[in-house]
Structure 1
Amino acid sequence: MDTAVDQIVHAATSADGTSPLDEATLIALHDGLGDLELTDTALRFIHDGELSLVVHPAHRGHGAATALLSAAPEGPLSAWSHGNHPAAARLAERFGWVRERDLWVMRRPASVSLPDVVADGVEIRAYRDSDAGEVVRVNAAAFAHHPEQGSMDRANLARRMAEPWFDPAGLLVADDGSRLLGFHWTKRHDAALGEVYVVGVDPAAQGRGLGRALTLAGLQHLGGLGLSEVILYVESDNDTAIRLYSGLGFTHHDTDTHVQYRRA
């Protein structure tokens, strides 16, 4: 990734407490995909219908974001405000973008005790290379209506696994002996922070408690790494998942929200 881009992103992350770019965007930037417009003080990046706009904290309030957004190509676009930044909300209102999705960040201390994992007739084990096709299949079925996660194919799976943080021991699968019924992909960010990265259960296996069992197994794995905190991302209207995570000690605060805006 360009050094100037990295400097702007790093400065914004330090100032706002959260990265202005999500993982998929960072990967696309690193791989040289999409359309990047870069100035000395800001950047605009468009990839796969999603716009990212980042202004260096030292240069905010001087019209850099307005200029870049005004010059953006016409047509449907979406954009995330990571951390629900007030300036992003004002910019969206000024340009007529509508608030479309809220993505919650939920957190729990890693030290809080967990109940036992119960998964009758299913082995929960670490990922093997031979599981790749089944993970993609289960993911596609579980996230058929999810605009980002549901599009993962074998190439995207391999690309994610090429990231420095990937650990096969942290990708847990539920195996009934003939096929995979679900998986829990955990992520270790650093020495203190872990993440419930993706939990997916084949719709054909719903109702067996596998989502809870896989979540618990992943939390136990993360807890064994000596982390301080575990986070996860969940759609604000996914009541079933929020009940599950709340019951496992995860909490959410209003400031821990990412907002997606859309231009018609």
Structure 2
Amino acid sequence: MVADDIRGADFHCHVDLDRDPAALVAACERERIATVAVTTTPKAWTHNKEWMRQSRYVHPAVGLHPELVADRHTELGLLERLLPESRLVGEVGLDGSRQHAVSLPKQKEVFGRILAAAQSLGGRVVTIHSRRAANDVITMLEALTTPDRLLPVLHWFSGSVASARKALACGCYFSVNVSMLGTASGQALIKCIPHDRLLMETDSPFTSIAGRTTAPWDVLQTCDGVAKLLGMDAAVLRATVAQNSTRVLAFAEL
């Protein structure tokens, strides 16, 4: 079970891309930050599982990043074989941006099979990439999953407010990072998310604060920034997000 004394939760962090993953895991232990350690390829699962074997706070997820599907779609079978070992799935999803649009049909095939497998197993939390493909992601979630068996978390969502509302209707949560606070579109999205569907993330090492790469404990600062944006008391929002985080992790029996 997840540690009952967490100070915060980072729902999307690339721990294995840190300069010293083992040291980062140890730091999360000291800081008491529950962390979903996403992977971009299922071949990374073994190392991640070993780094986090003794951790109470950091949990590995098995994934196949949509940006890598063109070259690594042959690893899908490995991911399907590993899924019974992991109740956390990610990073997976679709990327419709210009440089990856050519592989979108293959991405949909891969994402569809991952969703179907996770749905069949049940009790899976899936952290999902949806850049320039939000509507397709939501349509696939509606067609292939049910909220009693799979809990989707839309990571660094950049779709429209209308898409976000459609995602909410099919049970999605949203993990928010500091970069979203820095754009008008990100702020508009944050404002439309019900407080009980808000989670925090870093997407480290792909975001920064004050000129340095973010670390999982920066979710506390991000949460305070969201509270300011929403005109809320920071302690109240921290408590709400903590409740959301515990609920999501409990869905995966962590």
Shared fold by TM > 0.5? no
Task: Please identify which structure carries the higher strand content.
Answer: 1
More relative contact order in 1 or in 2 (CA 8 Å, sep 6+)? 1
Bigger share in helix: 2
